[in-house]
A and B are shown apart, each in its own frame.
Chain A
Amino acid sequence: MSIKVSQPNGWTRRSVLKTGLGTAAMAGAPMFFVRNAHAFTNDPSNGSSVILGFNVPQTGAYADEGADELRAYQLAVKHLNGEGDGGMMNTMKPSSLKGNGILGKKVEYVTGDTQTKSDAARASAKRMIEKDGAIMITGGSSSGVAVAVQSLCQEAGVVFMAGLTHSNDTTGKDKRKYGFRHFFNAYMSGAALGPVLEKEFGNDRQAYHLTADYTWGWTQEESIKNTTEGLGWKTNAAVRTPLGAGDFSQYITPVLNSGADVLILNHYGKDMINSLTQSVQFGLRDKQVNDKDFKIVVPLFSRLMAQGAGENIKGIFGTTNWNWSLTDEGSQAFVKSFGAEYGFPPSQAAHTCYVQTLLYANAIEVAGTFNPCGVIEALEGFKFDGMGNGATEYRAEDHQCFKDVLVVRGNENPSSQFDLLEVVQQVPRSQVEYDAAIFGGELGACA
């Protein structure tokens, strides 16, 4: 037999306990969610240092670029921590950087090898975020890798400052709220190169494309085709080649009797060095087709590639994001600093990576927080100068930087061992701008 004890107002002891627990849970719930809303991945607020993750190709087709990117990152860390001559920290305008780390915390870094493979790059980025506590991931040299890592960073809630990535997709259909690109893209290369190609080679040409078979190659081929066909050129063929093919002879021999009089190499890094060297070995540069001199164009050029390709690069047109021979105050400060550290001038890959690190650190100082949402807000629409390429803006709509683009040509008469690219034209930013909507994609939200 049980005895039920009732209170005079109808409440039982059980119902009081239930109501009390329920009320406490409801009252506690909003606080729990609010606390999480303010937390973010690898918050360094309680530590004495802040860790950045440098994810670069140390092996594979883009290893040269990767090595130079790493040098630039290390130099940026030195400058942020107040060591060395400060480099572009002295020329960047506006700047909130103080040379005492980031928000007073010492900058440290961890590195990873992307191997120029998306899965390896994601694995090393994941390791840097989950095990090493990196609050930002940066690096590149392959757009396939950049797109894959950018997506991972979005999921992890960590900012991704892209290094060398030139595909339209990175800030186009695959753009992400947490991803930012300072480097230019294939569309801009086409827009900058078009008028120069028209002036140098005329309107009656047949182009043959050899294209690296991944996102960057595809978008560059599309952008350059749009440009050259707009000039009145015909596209003879567009052939896809596997990344890291090494021996391109089986793809070059069909060019010889295709009727094309221009070969466009949508290759980068070692692929470009090999394909250009082999094209020259097959006598393409000395050929006459359709009563015209045969021409080779490399839409995305870099000094490192020029160095690898040696004499073969002479007279060949392309575009580049930046070149060490620029005479603006920012470029000179960076070249001086990098040269003193390593004994040779920086590549465009090094430049973009150095600038990205400084921009990220500056955004934290501006925002006054390491919280990625605050950092993203500070970067969106940020206008700056003194970092090479003139006045630059991080467009808020797609997180793409807009600045002047350089059209270059392999130097016929270099004045030094590094003077391999001659700047033919500094194409103004207005000529390479486009509507962010043309490449689609959604940034998503900052969670």
Chain B
Amino acid sequence: MDAILLQILNGLDKGGAYALIALGLTLVFGTLGVVNFAHGALFMLGAFCAVTFQKIMTFSKQVKDESITFFDAYKEIPYLEIWFGETGTMLIDWVVPLSILLAIPVMLLIGLIMERGLIQYFYKRSHAEQILVTFGLAIVIQEIIKSFFGANPIPTPAPEIVAGSANIGALFGLSDSVVYPYWRLIYLAFAFVVIGAVFAFLQFTTFGMVVRAGMADRETVSLLGINVERRFTIVFGIAAVVAGLAGVMYTPILPPDYHIGMDFLVLSFVVVVVGGMGSLAGAVAAGFLLGILQSFASMNEIKAIFPGIDQIIIYLVAVVILLTRPRGLLGRKGVMED
């Protein structure tokens, strides 16, 4: 029971990241009809918003390290600590959550520039051309980040207060071995909040209603005199913000490097395909489902029967789903079937 609960938590935690990226991908595909292979790069750019903010907050003065006598060594003391003492230390400690404030406008701007500057010219092109151009864009963004930040992952820790783990077992009357890191629980809650906010935005606002109508029948909505394109541009920006926030919050779990977006992109595309192209609910459901399956496949009892299954389970499920239900779990009829 303990092991199962742990793997469910682990799966939900992984699934949260998959779902957040897949949600943005589906949103862009459902509105603009664009298969955006640069979406992983947006996740990575979000993570690097946190890295950049950390660099700004820890801008340091070099002081000679007197404990080293063999050669001249210097240690760095952040100016924030010099100027504000403990308050400065606390601000640096909370750099990841605070990065969200930076990431929202930056990612929105990046999304709008990307859509207006490049993506809009490929609306009427084939999906193959869209994939090629967005994949190329992703590589360009990756290389830019690599040239500025290097190739190595950059540690961006969570605040000290949530660095440990929560005793989940005690809450549910189970054994003490059911513990889970606070930050991963926070990430899971964060994923639910963001997903809920996106759905609420689309469901309960006039803007969202127009977007949904545009997704269902773009031509009719345009004939009613509504500028659908402008709204879809904003949707692209929102998708970029969602991917960026997912990236920011993931940095304490996995120190980001320039390639982190590409690592997630492939898995997220599988999630979108399994969930059903263009289906928001399908993307979220498939994200969590595949995350949980991947976790269970990593259990030693399962691997004893099927060695290496943890490495291929997601792709195996995708193959089975596509063979039995080609439009995905919750996909609409006619989407990508021509």
Contacts and interface: CB of A to CB of B under 8 A. Distances in A.
B73 interface: yes
Contact of A250 (B177, B179, B310): B310
Interface stretch (B104-112, B291-299, B320-328): B291-299
A340 B72 contact: yes
B219 interface: no
Contacts of A60: 151
A340 B184 CA distance: 42
Nearest to B299: A254
Contacts of A343: 71-74
A257 interface: yes
B70 A336 contact: yes
A418 B73 contact: yes
B300 A282 contact: no
Nearest to B75: A417
Nearest to A250: B298
A413 interface: no
A60 B150 CA distance: 11
Given A63-B152, A415-B67, A257 B164 contact: no
B298 to A, nearest CB: 4
Interface string A266-294: 00001001100010011100010000000
A247 B263 CA distance: 11
A336 B254 contact: no
A242 B310 CA distance: 10
A33 B75 CA distance: 62
Contacts of A45: none
Contacts of B268: none
Contacts of B253: 247
A308 B155 contact: yes
A416 B70 contact: no
B311 A242 contact: yes
A253 B6 contact: yes
A249 B184 contact: yes
Kindly name the residue among A249, A310, A343 whose own CB sees the greatest number of chain B CB atoms within 10 A.
A249
Interface in B144-187: 151-153, 155, 157, 163-165, 175, 177-181, 183-184
A406 interface: no
A332 interface: yes
Contacts of A396: none
A256 interface: yes
Contacts of A239: 300, 303
Given A253-B6, A257-B6, A415-B67, A282 B165 contact: yes
A353 interface: no
B68 A418 contact: yes
B13 interface: yes
A251 B298 CA distance: 7
Nearest to A64: B152
B198 to A, nearest CB: 24
B65 interface: yes
B113 interface: no
Contacts of A247: 14, 253-254
A434 interface: no
Contacts of B175: 257
Contacts of A63: 151-152
Nearest to B1: A257
A335 interface: yes
Contact of A416 (B9, B67, B184): B67
A339 B153 CA distance: 24
Given A59-B151, A63-B152, A416-B65, A336 B71 contact: yes
Interface of B: 2-3, 6-7, 9-10, 13-14, 65, 67-68, 70-75, 151-153, 155, 157, 163-165, 175, 177-181, 183-184, 253-255, 263, 294-295, 298-300, 303, 310-311
11 contacts: A250-B295, A257-B3, A274-B254, A274-B255, A278-B181, A281-B183, A287-B177, A308-B155, A339-B70, A416-B68, A417-B73
Interface of A: 58-60, 63-64, 67, 237, 239, 242, 246-247, 249-251, 253-254, 256-258, 270, 273-274, 278, 281-283, 287, 308, 310, 332, 335-336, 339-340, 343-345, 415-419
